[in-house]
Structure 1
Amino acid sequence: MSALRIAMQQYLSLRRKLGFKLINVETTLRSFITFAEKEAACHVTTDLILRWLNLSTAKEPATLANRFNMVRRFAIWRSAADDRTQVPPKNLLP
C-alpha cells in the first residue's frame, strides 16, 4: 500500500471522526490516489492534480472545480506531514 493511500485513509478517518460523511470525497480521493499510484507519484503536486482532472469524463467546470477542491483540501492536510506536497492555488480552476 502506497504512502499516499495510507495518508488518504488517515485523512478520511480523521474527518469522519469530526462528523463528516465524505461519500463523494472518498470516491474522488480514491480515484486520484489510484491515478497517482499508476504515475508512481510519491506526493501530491499541482501538475499531478491537473493531469488527473484532464482524464475526467466530467467536463462541466463546476464538477471539475469541486473535484479539484476535494483533492486540494487533502493536499493542504498532507502538506503538514510531507513538505514535498504542493498545495495548488485556491482559484486555479474557474
Structure 2
Amino acid sequence: MRLHQINKANYSSSIERDIIYSIAPSDKVLLIEDAIIRLMNKSDPLLNLIHQKKIDMYALESDLKAYGAVLPTYITPITDLEWVALTSECNHHIAW
C-alpha cells in the first residue's frame, strides 16, 4: 500500500494523468499544503477521479484550518499525529 501526498493546487495534465494511473485500489491519498485549494472547486477533475476509484482520501486538519476549506464527506480530516500513523501504515510514499 502506498501513500500519495498531493501538495499542489495545480499540476500539468501529464502529471495529473500520472497520479491517476499510479494509484492502486489499496493506496491512500493525503491532501496537504496548497492541495487544500482543490477542495474549493467541487468539480476538481483530479479529486473526482480519485473519488470515483474509491480510494481513501485524507486532508491535514491544520492545512484545512489555514485555508478555511470545507471538507467533502468523502475526505477524512487527520491530525499531524494521525498523519505519522498513516505514513507508518503505508509501505511506500510518493510526494507529488
Question: Could you say which structure has the higher strand fraction?
Answer: 2
TM-score, normalising length from structure 1? 0.33
Question: Using CA pairs below 8 Å that are at least 6 residues apart, which structure has the higher relative contact order?
Answer: 2
Question: Could you say which structure has the higher helix fraction?
Answer: 1
